[in-house]
Structure 1
Amino acid sequence: MSTSPVGSPEEGQLSENEFRDRLRELPPSAKLVAKVLEGEAPLSQGGLAEESLLPDRTVRYALNRLEEEGLVESRYSFKDARKQVYFLTV
């Protein structure tokens, strides 16, 4: 991640400091999922489970926590519209 904000506040982007402050309060599984997304985004839930070596259920929990904090967003995959892919908001 860069040290400067990626977008303006109007666009809903978080600064890196705000991103890290929110992430700091989350469980280790959410931190690991965020770290994987930092280098490999966008990824599906299955892709995140494969890359992080976490069980699907743990990845789902981590993604829910990250989404609640506004740190991760999702969209439908261009390759397979049945799947969603996840990416960081910073």
Structure 2
Amino acid sequence: MSTRVDSPGGSEGVLSEDEYRERLIELPPSAKLVAKVLETDAPLSQGRLAEESLLPDRTVRYALNRLEEVGLVGSRYSFRDARKQVYFLRR
């Protein structure tokens, strides 16, 4: 399996499963859990991620920031509610 991501430098590419895991392994457990939730059910809002992961909102925000820093998560405005952002794994 390969995962398409934007690298922190901004260039787009495809990550192998090993490369994906290598980026993820350095992150805190909360980021790993959020990534796992997004693997099975995305896109999700920050609030929905908190519900699904059973993590506090602040912890989810921190996890999303860390995942975005390494280029594993992207966001866009929700089609259902343009006031909300939803998050997804970059593939």
TM-score normalized by structure 2? 0.86
2:34 is matched with 33
What letter matches 1:50 in structure 2?
Answer: E
1:14 is matched with 15
Over residues 20-65 of structure 1, what are the superposed CA-to-partner deviations in whole Å (9 max), with x where a residue is unaligned?
A: 1000000000000000000011000000000000000000000000
Q: Secondary structure at the match of 2:15?
A: coil
Matched length: 87
The answer to whether the 8 A contact 1:42-1:86 is kept is yes
The structure whose residues are more often helix, as a share, is 1
What percentage of residue pairs aligned between the two structures are identical? 78
Shift of 1:18: 1.2
Q: Which runs of 5+ in 2 are unaligned?
A: none
Q: Secondary structure at the match of 1:85?
A: strand
Q: Which runs of 5+ in 1 are unaligned?
A: none
1:63 is matched with 64
1:87 is matched with 88
CA RMSD in angstroms, aligned pairs only: 1.9
The structure whose residues are more often strand, as a share, is 2
